[in-house]
Structure 1
Amino acid sequence: MTNQSQRIITAIVLIPSLIFFIIYSSDLVFFIGLLALILVAAYEFSKLIDKAGYKNLKLPTILGSVLIPFSFYIERVDVFLFSVFIISFLSLVVKLFGSKPLDDTYRTVGFTFLNVFYVPFYFSFVQLLKNINYHYIFYLLVIIWASDTFAYFFGIKFGKHRLYEIISPKKSIEGLIAGLVGALLVGLAYSIIFLKLSIVHTLISSFLVAGAGVVGDLVESMFKRKASVKDSGNLFPGHGGMLDRIDSLLFGAPVLYFYVEMFIL
Structure 2
Amino acid sequence: MKRLLTAAVCVPLALLALFRLPAAGFFVVVAFFITWAAWEFVRLVRPVAPDAPLGALVPLAPLAAWGLAAALDAGPAWPAGPVLLAAALLLAVGGAMLVLFARTPVEQALPALAVLCFGIPYFALPIASLYALARFDPWWVFLLFAIVWLGDSAAFYIGTAWGRHRLAPVVSPKKSWEGAIAGFVTSVAATAAWSLWYLGAVRGDLLLVGAATAFASQTGDLVESLLKRGARVKDSGGIFPGHGGVFDRLDALLFAAPVLLAGLLWLGVPARP
TM-score with structure 2 length normalisation? 0.88
User: 1:80 Cα deviation (Å)?
Assistant: 3.6
2:181 to 177, 183, 191: 177
Aligned to 2:95: 89
2:141 to 114, 126, 137: 137
> Contact 1:10–1:238 (CA<8 Å) still a contact in 2?
yes
Q: 5+ residue gaps in structure 2?
A: 72-80
Partners of 1:59 and 1:144 in 2: how far apart?
A: 28
Report the 3-state secondary structure (helix = DSSP H, G, I; strand = E; otherwise coil) of the residue aligned with 2:120: helix
Q: 1:133-179 CA distances to partner (integer Å, 9 max, x unpaired)? A: 11111101101112112212221222111111100111111111111
1:192 to 191, 196, 201: 196
Aligned to 1:45: 41
Aligned to 1:224: 228
TM-aligned CA distance change 1:254 to 1:128, over 3 Å: same
Partners of 2:45 and 2:141 in 1: how far apart?
A: 29
Report the 3-state secondary structure (helix = DSSP H, G, I; strand = E; otherwise coil) of the residue aligned with 1:234: coil
Deviant stretches of 4+, over 3 Å? 51-56, 195-198
Q: Which stretch shows the higher mean deviation, 63-72 or 254-263?
A: 63-72
Matches within 5 A, 1:157-168: 157-168=161-172
> Contact 2:220–2:253 (CA<8 Å) still a contact in 1?
yes
Q: What letter matches 1:210 in structure 2?
A: A
TM-aligned CA distance change 1:80 to 1:60, over 3 Å: farther
Identity across matched positions, percent: 30
User: 1:42 Cα deviation (Å)?
Assistant: 0.8
Partners of 1:124 and 1:231 in 2: how far apart?
A: 26
2:32 counterpart of 1:33? no
Q: Which stretch shows the higher mean deviation, 250-259 or 119-128?
A: 119-128
> Contact 2:6–2:242 (CA<8 Å) still a contact in 1?
yes
Report the 3-state secondary structure (helix = DSSP H, G, I; strand = E; otherwise coil) of the residue aligned with 2:173: strand
1:12 to 8, 12, 18: 8
Q: 1:224-255 CA distances to partner (integer Å, 9 max, x unpaired)? A: 00000111111211111111111111111111
Aligned to 1:206: 210
1:22 to 11, 18, 24: 18
Q: 1:107-143 CA distances to partner (integer Å, 9 max, x unpaired)? A: 1222222222222234431111112111111101101
User: 1:23 Cα deviation (Å)?
Assistant: 0.6
> Contact 1:39–1:65 (CA<8 Å) still a contact in 2?
yes
Partners of 1:216 and 1:238 in 2: how far apart?
A: 19
CA RMSD of aligned residues (A): 1.9
Q: What letter matches 1:157 in structure 2?
A: A
Matches within 5 A, 1:142-153: 142-153=146-157
Aligned to 2:60: 64
TM-score with structure 1 length normalisation? 0.90
Q: 5+ residue gaps in structure 1?
A: none
> Contact 1:49–1:56 (CA<8 Å) still a contact in 2?
no
Residue correspondences, number: 259
TM-aligned CA distance change 1:83 to 1:66, over 3 Å: same
TM-aligned CA distance change 1:264 to 1:198, over 3 Å: farther
Partners of 1:145 and 1:202 in 2: how far apart?
A: 18
Partners of 1:214 and 1:59 in 2: how far apart?
A: 27
2:120 counterpart of 1:116? yes
1:234 to 235, 238, 248: 238
